[in-house]
Amino acid sequence: MKQLQSRLPAVGTTIFSRMSALAAQHGAVNLGQGFPDFACDPKLVDMVTVAMREGFNQYPIGTGARVLRQAIADKIARVYGWQYDVNTEITVTPGATEALTTAILCSVHPGDEVIVIEPAYDSYLPAIELAGGVPLLVQMEVAEHGGYSVPWPRLAAAVSERTRMIIINTPHNPTGSVLRAADLAALADIVRDTEILILSDEVYEHMVFDGEQHESMCRHPELAQRAFVVSSFGKTYHVTGWKVGYVAAPAMLMAEFRKVHQYNVFSVNTPMQHGFASYMDDPAPYVNLPAFYQRKRDLFRKGLEGSRFELLPCDGTYFQCVRYDRISSLPEAEFAEWLTAEVKVAAIPVSAFYRDGKDSGIVRFCFAKKDETLALALERLARV
């Protein structure tokens, strides 16, 4: 048989899978891949169980159970002030990655340009390539002793007549940075009077710290009218393995999204949708989430004070980036492997989030872990 020509010849096993496998091989504390090692609220499990026992076990409507879409619309209106139509503007998806990919596939045509801000989550570029689009990469600026920021003038300069979409991620993985109101104003200035769409990856929306608010596209009417906004129940409710998310968008965009969605996955786990809908009656779990993760962030940062790691700012997400140049001159990938094998703590090299593998001597830790897990990791890291 003739060898199949790859649609993604440059793609291999993800860095997250590789580092998790290496962590297991060496018995390391896995602060690499972004998932909690603690349980979700037992009430959520009970609500899914009730849904199963009540017979919600067959195919749901492909756009998502109406009761969950209503809960999503109500939450967005309550938190961000933007009202989406429950029937035409919200779709439940099997996780955020499918939502991101489908938004790209439904709107990007061969030759269209998509602006991606690096470092970038690793699913963006393959989806653009599968659509036949052309990614244009704009790298965030990194202050020597500070955090990451988007260089809006350089992003504006990258816009052309072929620009179809700009991908935004806030709070940002892997850097832990967040966009502010001034950033959204700058973005609005760039796309105004154009046909450019925005794909806004907001899966960490409820992890913004120090009293700041999450600047969702839904807060900005001008941007909301051209945006696919993606979020994740897995991230918000500590159930990443359940793979349930959603996308909100204006009806015209959502109509095209649903055309691709229905032939990509068709529908999403039925009892989990009903369980989430019931659980969302109480806003406390997501209202209290910033404080929950800020405490873990502060615990982790305090544990590294006085170490040879240099802490970069962390304004959101459950990721902490650190410089390690006072420890080693190894490239990031090699340092992460050394850290896993010798120190027994796994991290992710930030270079994995750049297409060209840009190396800045920075790795990313995930602090969405039990306190005892963090304590063990910090004890080991403090000795480095």
356-378 pLDDT tens trace = 999 999 999 999 999 999 999 99
pLDDT at 233: 98
Looking at the structure, tell me whether residues 308 and 278 fall in a common domain: no
User: What per-residue confidence (pLDDT) applies to 148?
Assistant: 96
Could you give the maximum distance between any two Cα atoms of the chain, in Å?
Answer: 60
Same domain, 243 and 357: no
Shared domain check, 346 and 226: no
The CATH number for 164's domain is 3.40.640.10
In SS3 terms, 220-259 reads as CHHHHCCEEEEEEHHHHHCCHHHCCEEEECCHHHHHHHHH
Together in a domain, 149 and 94: yes
Contact 210, 199 (CB under 8 A): no
Which of residues 247, 282, 317 is at a domain's end? 282
Q: Which of 282, 300, 332 is the last residue of a domain?
A: 282
260 in the same domain as 226: yes
157 domain-assigned: yes
Tokens (6 digits) for 365:
């830790």
pLDDT 10s digits, 125-149? 999 999 999 999 999 998 766 789 9
Strands (E), the chain: 29-30, 90-93, 113-118, 134-139, 141-142, 148-149, 163-169, 197-201, 227-232, 245-248, 310-311, 319-323, 345-346, 348-349, 362-366
User: Residue 68 in 3-state DSSP?
Assistant: helix
> In this structure, what CATH number is given to the domain that contains residue 298?
3.90.1150.10
The reply to whether 10 falls in a domain is no
- The first and second tokens of residue 319, run together, are 């990721």
Amino acid at 374: L
Give the model's pLDDT for residue 22: 94
The reply to whether 4 falls in a domain is no
Report how many domains make up the chain.
2
pLDDT, mean of residues 83-104: 98
> 160 and 27, same structural domain?
no
- Rounded Cα distance between 298 and 316, Å, is 12
Please tell me the predicted confidence (pLDDT) of residue 340: 97
d(CA 142, CA 358): 12
The verdict on residue 9 lying in a domain is no
**Contact assessment for residue 51 and residue 274, using Cβ atoms and an 8 Å cutoff:** yes
Q: Is the pLDDT of residue 245 over 80?
A: yes
Full-model pTM: 0.96
Alpha-carbon span 213 to 320, nearest angstrom: 19
In a domain, 258, yes or no: yes
**244 and 190, same structural domain?**
yes
In 3D space, the residue among 313, 322, 318 whose CA is nearest the CA of residue 293 turns out to be 318
Say if residue 368 is in the same domain as residue 228.
no
Kindly state whether residues 228 and 111 are assigned to the same domain.
yes
User: What are the distances in angstroms from CA 194 to CA 105, 163, 166, 205?
Assistant: 20, 9, 12, 27
- The length of the chain in residues reads 384
Q: Which residues pair with 142 in a beta bridge?
A: 148
Bridge partner list, 246: 92, 231
Q: Which among 89, 127, 121, 125 has a CA at the least distance from the CA of 105?
A: 127
- In this structure, are residues 148 and 175 in contact, taking their beta carbons and an 8 Å threshold? yes
Q: Kindly state whether residue 7 falls inside one of the protein's structural domains.
A: no
Pick from 133-147, 163-177, 192-206, 312-326: least confident: 133-147
CA distance to 58, 86, 142, 155, 308, per residue, from 48 (Å): 14, 22, 43, 44, 45
Q: How confident is the model at residue 33 (pLDDT cuts 50, 70, 90)?
A: confident
The one-letter code for the residue type at 28 is A
Residues 235 and 319 in one domain: no
pLDDT digits (tens, 9 = 90+) for 284-297: 999 999 999 999 99
Determine the structural domain holding residue 347 and report its residue range: 15-40+287-382
| 2 falls within a domain | no
| Same domain flag for 316 and 252 | no
Q: Indicate whether 3 belongs to any domain.
A: no
Whether residues 22 and 146 fall in one domain: no
Q: What is the rounded CA–CA span in Å between residue 150 and residue 178?
A: 10
Q: Look at residues 229, 251, 282 and tell me which one is the last residue of a structural domain.
A: 282
CA gap 310, 97 in Å, rounded: 31
Nearest alpha-carbon partner for 39 in 316, 368, 364, 293: 368
